[in-house]
Amino acid sequence: MFTILKRAFGIDDKEKKRDKISKDELEDLLLEADVNYDLLEKILNQLPENITRVQLYNSLIAIFDYKAKWIYPTAETKPFVELIIGVNGAGKTTTIAKLANRYLEDNKTVMLGAGDTFRAAAIEQLTQWAKKLDIPIVATKQGHDPSAVVFDTIKSAIAKNIDRVIIDTAGRLHNQVNLAEELKKMVRVADKALKRAPHRKLLILDGTQGSSAINQAKAFDEIVGVDGIIITKLDGTAKGGSIFSIADELKMPIYYIGVGEKAEDLMKFDVKWYINSILDEIFGKE
Ligand SMILES: Nc1nc2c(ncn2[C@@H]2O[C@H](COP(=O)(O)OP(=O)(O)OP(=O)(O)O)[C@@H](O)[C@H]2O)c(=O)[nH]1
Ligand SMILES: [Mg+2]
């Protein structure tokens, strides 16, 4: 993971142990990591010319200091239903497999719903993951009503006493009104199948997309209300700083980060750990 962060923040491999970093150096690092300029200014304005580890820690952790409603499964939310939304290629289907894998490791039973009915390949992709993970999936033919998939998946999960339901959706563009309406309908129908479902509408954001990811999030939030975020593709990118911009602008819970294409490549997002890892790279390990 340190190599990932090292790459993400463009920090070289030299062993270093230092007490302070200059404002100029910090500015370069944050810019390279794709922290947006407004936030960068805000961070730098509060800091002295030469910055200690503690000072930088305090200013970075403050970005995440906002009230947000975190939602977790309880005894009353069985099956716990998650609707996975996001634009084309953000990593929705892959993240569903990663989440399912996590829940299985946690000894939960999982069922998938192939709610992206626009493309036959999307149904096929999720079906392959279900096979690989050996879990049930509800899928229809391409072009069928995705809301029917939502209803059938939840009803089937209730009948089979399943713990977790994860439902895929098509990669949607927010300016396509019909697609937005369809997403709203999926949410309404989920609530018909099980009161208060979906319990969590998780938005998948591509961590390499910078400010466009933030605009997407705002659009999806207006359409259905976003309960939390998963940021993908934080491996192999120089744009790890998007996490700070996303947190600062959206003030939504960030549950996980995606760091690869395999089912295991999903990490719980732990902000203290994340910031400390970055500081280790800048100041050397404590
Ligand atoms: N490196 C890397 N690749 C990822 C990650 N998450 C997803 N991908 C890749 O990104 C591509 C798109 O992922 P999908 O899961 O198909 O994205 P999607 O949002 O379902 O896309 P659509 O179904 O087209 O809307 C695939 O090649 C994935 O393997 C990640 O965390 N790291
Ligand atoms: Mg997909």
* Residues 225-269: tens digit of each pLDDT: 999 999 999 886 666 788 999 999 999 999 999 999 999 999 999
Of 255, 117, 257, 94, nearest to 183 by C-alpha is 117
Ligand 1 center to 33 CA (angstroms):
21
Distance CA 182, CA 195 (A): 19
How much of the chain, in percent, has pLDDT values that exceed 90?
72
Ligand 1 center to 259 CA (angstroms):
11
pTM exceeding the 0.75 threshold for the entire prediction: yes
Distance CA 29, CA 208 (A): 16
Q: What are the φ and ψ backbone dihedral angles of 86, each rounded to 5 degrees? A: 155, 165
* Distance set, CA 133 to CA 96, 124, 229 (Å): 11, 14, 23
Ligand 1 center to 77 CA (angstroms):
28
Please identify, by atom number, the ligand 1 atom nearest to the C-alpha of residue 204: 19
Of all ligands present, the nearest one to the C-alpha of 205 is 1
Specify the pLDDT at position 249.
92
Q: What are the φ and ψ backbone dihedral angles of 138, each rounded to 5 degrees? A: -105, 120
Tokens of 18: 């230092």
Please identify, by atom number, the ligand 1 atom nearest to the C-alpha of residue 168: 20
Which residue has the least CA distance to atom 7 on ligand 1? 91
Please identify, by atom number, the ligand 1 atom nearest to the C-alpha of residue 94: 15
**Cβ < 6 Å from ligand 1: which residues?**
86, 88-94, 116, 122, 171, 232-233, 235-236, 258-261, 265
Say which range, 48-62, 82-96, 267-281, has the weakest mean pLDDT: 267-281
